[in-house]
Amino acid sequence: NSQRADEELLRLQVTTRSWLGAVVHRSGGLVLDYGWLRVLGSGNDEVHLASLGEINDNVAGGVIVAQDVLGGQFAWMPDSSGKPTIWYLAPDTVRWEDCEQGYGDWLAAMIGGAVTGFYESLRWQGWVEEVRACRLDEAINVFPPLWTKEGKDLNAASRRPVPMSEAISLLGVTQDGQRDT
């Protein structure tokens, strides 16, 4: 939707000459690895893919640029020197981790196949079928939670699709990235 893409680009205040601007302006988003990773663009209602603006409506301190099927979030935020890099809110540690890459390098790596190695420890037998069956506005809730000792065996854990907003709230993370206890 070109009008929606223009509105998203204006909201972000980035140019189409940047990787982020190109993804937002030229696509509803990118779906990688059977839907495991959803790189946000201008959104697509038909396939239930949220836009960058919808996801970032109430976010402070960075821009959420992608979500994964386990509720993990990738954000473009400043590192300790103030340079923006991609950070990952990992559902198995519930901590923000600096990927030490800019958006373009991170995206090129993910499109180029790095997604497989990145998520190797978070996959279970039969994950492809479960991920394919999950809508793009859903995540797979794992119980016991991934950040617990009992939740580390994904083959034995209970898994079910839930709305993405529920998966994110179940992580119990505040806006500053700390665990809400």
How far apart (Å, rounded) are the C-alpha atoms in residues 35 and 9? 24
Q: In 3D, which of 111, 167, 104, 177 has the Cα closest to residue 135?
A: 167
Q: pLDDT class for 59, splitting at 50, 70, 90? A: low
- pLDDT at position 6 over 70: yes
- What does the pLDDT look like over 84-107, one tens digit per residue? 999 999 999 999 999 999 999 999
- Torsion angle in degrees (nearest 10) through CA of 105, 108, 112, 116: 60
pLDDT in tens, 18-43: 887 788 878 889 999 999 999 999 88
pLDDT over threshold 70, residue 179 = no
**Residues with Cβ < 8 Å from 159, sequence gap 6 or more?**
124, 130, 140, 141, 142, 143
Q: What are phi and psi of 87, to 5 degrees?
A: -115, 150
Domain ranges of the chain: 33-40+54-171
